[in-house]
Amino acid sequence: MPKRIVYSTQIEYIQCLDEQGKLDEKLVPQGDPSRLSDEQAVFLYGKMIEYRHLDEVAFKLQRSGRMYTYPQNKGQEAAALGAGAALRVGVDYLVPCYRENAALFLHGLDPKYILLHWAGDERGNAIPQRDKHGEQGVNCTPIAIPIGTQMLHATGMAWAYKLRKEDKVVATFFGDGATSEGDFHEAMNFATVFNVPCVFICQNNHWAISVPRDQQMNSETVAQKGIAYGAHCVQVDGNDLFGMYKVVLEARERARNGGGVTLIEAITYRLADHTTADDARRYRSEAEVESWRGKDPVIRLRKYLEGQGLWNDAKQKETLDKAEAWTKKIVDEVLNYPAPHRNEMFDHLFADIPEEQRRQRDTWATHSLGQFPAQIQLGK
């Protein structure tokens, strides 16, 4: 006899802080652990200003020929920062794409590594890891350029933590375009089958470079793509810092307690080009961009803080001044970073260098000038 499986579901959309800076007290009442405190909100707003300023300066470095390319994070700070704030520093692991600078910096990554990476210096990927005593280091992987590969890495890491019975959660970040890759589906399937402590965070900025969302997928939402795999799926206003903190914190606790994988679709928008090699004016209208400028997460959070009497023009100027000094220090270090030695490309490939590699290294020492050409050094 034929059987019919009846299945129905729904995707919940969360917005705590609206575009006018008004907070929904019912969703995040006072005393709720998923609500940012006033102190946290003020602190994170300060970080938003810092990271936005660095982002703008990085863009100028590329335009002045001192970096090869750069993908601005402008407009997507709340999605990354809210998630980063909800994850435990030094415990949980971040597996990013390339528009999560705010989360990486919040967890202790020195911004110089990001600038070095985009300047073509391989040492920008040499993120310091914790030593055997648990000192120093940052719990994150290098930024991922190939679309979607990092989701597989995150799943494997989370599985390892589960097998070791370690109280760690892995959060991986990616764009809407990455969910059209096979890697996303493989990672999601494996993660849910083995119930690993992993949180999948999609920054849906509506454009996979120049391809709009509705031309690369037929699903009404990105979030619903996780339903068939048995993941907990939720959609959130990605420009809402309070909303991002809430859903990621809940997903983190769900993962820690064996409650399953969560797929979070954060609705956001990149206010700049995809990268400095792109001209978004060729495929999206100024009217569309302008409509999203009014939803800017930095402006939205400032409205809230001012409404609560927690922020004013004097604090804004003071924070901007600090941001400029902080950014200048980072840029000065990067522009004056010592050139790499030729041996670095050999010495860090293997724990014990093979004889063939050793021979190549020694041969180069006798048949070259011993250093990389000066013109490839950053800022030269």
Q: Please check whether residue 3 lies inside any domain of the structure.
A: no
Q: Please check whether residue 4 lies inside any domain of the structure.
A: no
Q: What pLDDT score was predicted for residue 134?
A: 54
Cα–Cα distance for residue pair 222/243, rounded to 1 Å = 17
CB 310 within 8 A of CB 250: no
Cα–Cα distance for residue pair 183/64, rounded to 1 Å = 36
Q: Please check whether residue 115 lies inside any domain of the structure.
A: yes
Q: Do 286 and 370 sit in the same domain of this protein?
A: no
Q: What pLDDT score was predicted for residue 365?
A: 79
Model confidence, pTM: 0.91
Q: Do 94 and 181 sit in the same domain of this protein?
A: yes
CB 162 within 8 A of CB 170: no
Q: Do 253 and 351 sit in the same domain of this protein?
A: no
| Tokens (6 digits) for 206 | 């509506």
Q: Say which CATH number the domain at 244 has.
A: 3.40.50.970
Cα–Cα distance for residue pair 77/71, rounded to 1 Å = 13
CB 158 within 8 A of CB 198: yes
Contact partners, residue 146, CB within 8 Å, separation at least 6: none
Cα–Cα distance for residue pair 122/257, rounded to 1 Å = 38
- Count how many domains the chain has: 2
Q: Do 285 and 303 sit in the same domain of this protein?
A: yes
Cα–Cα distance for residue pair 363/368, rounded to 1 Å = 9
Is 320 a residue whose pLDDT tops 90?
A: yes
Q: Do 254 and 129 sit in the same domain of this protein?
A: yes
* Count of C-beta atoms within a 10 Å radius of residue 122: 13
* Least confident interval from 126-140, 228-242, 274-288: 126-140
Q: Do 260 and 136 sit in the same domain of this protein?
A: yes
Cα–Cα distance for residue pair 116/326, rounded to 1 Å = 17
Q: Do 319 and 220 sit in the same domain of this protein?
A: yes
**C-alpha distance across the termini of the chain, in Å:** 76
**Domain extent for 52:** 12-335
Rounded percentage of the chain residues whose pLDDT exceeds 70: 95
CB 246 within 8 A of CB 27: yes
* Least confident interval from 125-134, 260-269, 271-280, 307-316: 125-134
Q: What pLDDT score was predicted for residue 241?
A: 98
CB 15 within 8 A of CB 240: yes
Query: 3-class secondary structure for 330-362?
Result: HHHHHHCCCCCECCHHHHCCCCCCCHHHHHHHH
Q: Do 363 and 299 sit in the same domain of this protein?
A: no
Q: Do 231 and 361 sit in the same domain of this protein?
A: no
Q: Please check whether residue 182 lies inside any domain of the structure.
A: yes
| Tokens (6 digits) for 247 | 């859903």
Q: What pLDDT score was predicted for residue 136?
A: 65
Nearest to 292 by CA among 78, 25, 133: 78
pLDDT confidence band for 62 (50 / 70 / 90): very high
pLDDT confidence band for 128 (50 / 70 / 90): confident
Is 377 a residue whose pLDDT tops 80?
A: no
Is 376 a residue whose pLDDT tops 50?
A: no
pLDDT confidence band for 368 (50 / 70 / 90): low
CB 139 within 8 A of CB 107: yes
Nearest to 209 by CA among 270, 149, 268, 274: 274
Q: Across the chain, which distance is largest between two alpha carbons, in Å?
A: 80
* Exposed / middle / buried, residue 18 (Cβ in 10 Å: 0-12, 13-18, 19+): middle
Q: Please check whether residue 7 lies inside any domain of the structure.
A: no
Neighbour order of strands in the sheet with 262-267: 12-14, 232-237, 262-267, 198-204, 170-175, 93-95
As annotated, the active-site residues are 270, 274, 283
Which amino acid is located at 271 in the chain? L
The total number of residues written for the chain in this structure:
380
* Exposed / middle / buried, residue 21 (Cβ in 10 Å: 0-12, 13-18, 19+): middle
Q: What pLDDT score was predicted for residue 132?
A: 54
Cα–Cα distance for residue pair 5/366, rounded to 1 Å = 72
Q: Do 91 and 59 sit in the same domain of this protein?
A: yes
Is 371 a residue whose pLDDT tops 60?
A: no
Q: What pLDDT score was predicted for residue 1?
A: 76
